[in-house]
Amino acid sequence: MNNSHTTTLYIFSTSSPVEESFFPLYFYVIIITVATIIFLGGLVGNILVIYIIMKNSNGRMQSTFHYLVASLSCYDVLVVLISMPQTLTYDLTLKWPFGRTACYINFNLPVLFACGSVFTMVAIALDRYRSIRTIFTFLTFTKLKKLIVIFIIFCLSFLCMLPCCLYTRYLDDTNFPQCGVIFSPDPFVANVSYVLFLTMIVLIIPFITILFLYGGLIYSLNKVRHRIFDSTLAQNIYNTAAKQSTQMLVLIVTTFILTWLPLFACFIVAAFSKISSDHIKTFRMIYTTSHLISYSNSIINPIVYAIYSRTFLKNYNHH
């Protein structure tokens, strides 16, 4: 790989020189403006969610669902505080300006936070499914068990990040120092391995699992209705639960696809095709924009879960 012509150590390289002002000025202005909105909205929204849950953790918000939502908000706070500024700086400057130590420590934190956020979404889907299947058995988790679930999610996320940490490399022999993950000395094998690894653990497996769990949730709601509901009040309760579960399913799956798919589409295109020097600037603009779109999930998540929790709505009205 010709380091003097490298735009990113992993996935991206070009045979054309890298200029200091690689993107047009308007692009920098738009990205920084939107990123600021996401930063402020994601930070305030998720901190508010955490605050409300902590304040009511011994009352109406002591369920596993609320603990998981608080955990999701914690990951989203870390995303907007660490992942987004770090990644967008790298995308816009085309170099790693934070030094060797930060490369080996900080570079893969976005993988940890993304996995933690996505795995928590899967756990929320699993909790919603479990809550319907055990609705009349009064099965509940103790506070310790809830914290253990959150800790297990963190450990799984850390394990997913670990291979990336072991293969992280830093090059600073040019004016554009690079930090990236190299799974193989062969650039093609390295890029494909990295992309497939991230796509599987962050997108495909969680997406299929969420679909399966929420499909099971809707099926279980229908099954429970036909078996036990024989009163108008019970039927109304079911209708409300079924409607909310279906709407939440549509929103979660839709936002999941819309915010993550563009970024991984860029990963796949870059890994499996050769991008000419004539198109690298356009592609990098699309790639940076896709990164920004993925971070917008940090605003969407608290909104979705707040809308479909009556207790959340009541507390939002008081703050």
Give pLDDT tens digits for 43-84.
999 998 898 888 877 766 677 878 888 999 999 999 999 999
**Domains defined along the chain, listed by start:** 3-317 (1.20.1070.10)
CA 206-207-210 angle, to 5 degrees, is: 80
CB-based contacts of 97: which residues, under 8 Å, 6+ apart?
Answer: 89, 90, 177
Given a cut of 70, is residue 280 above it in pLDDT? yes
pLDDT at 142: 76
Given a cut of 60, is residue 110 above it in pLDDT? yes
Of 106-110, 131-135, 162-166, the range with the lowest mean pLDDT is 131-135
Give the burial class of 49: count Cβ atoms within 10 A of its Cβ; 0-12 exposed, 13-18 middle, 19 or more buried: buried
CA distances from 228 to 136, 221, 222, 223, 234 (A): 10, 11, 10, 9, 9
Q: In whole angstroms, give the CA distance from residue 261 to residue 28.
A: 23
What angle, 0 to 180 degrees and rounded to 10, lies between the N-to-C axes of helices 109-133 and 205-228?
10
Q: In whole angstroms, give the CA distance from residue 50 to residue 52.
A: 6
Q: Where does the chain have alpha helices with state H?
A: 25-55, 64-78, 84-93, 99-106, 109-133, 143-166, 187-198, 205-228, 232-272, 280-295, 297-307, 310-317
Of 58-62, 172-176, 235-239, 305-309, the range with the lowest mean pLDDT is 235-239
Give bridge partners of residue 3 from the DSSP assignment: none
Token pair belonging to 212: 């399966």
CA 221-223-229 angle, to 5 degrees, is: 80
pLDDT at 33: 96
What angle, 0 to 180 degrees and rounded to 10, lies between the N-to-C axes of helices 297-307 and 25-55?
30
pTM of full prediction above 0.95: no
Q: DSSP letters of 137-205? A: TT----HHHHHHHHHHHHHHHHHHHHHHHHTEEEE-SSSS-EEEE-S-SSHHHHHHHHHHHHIIIIIIH
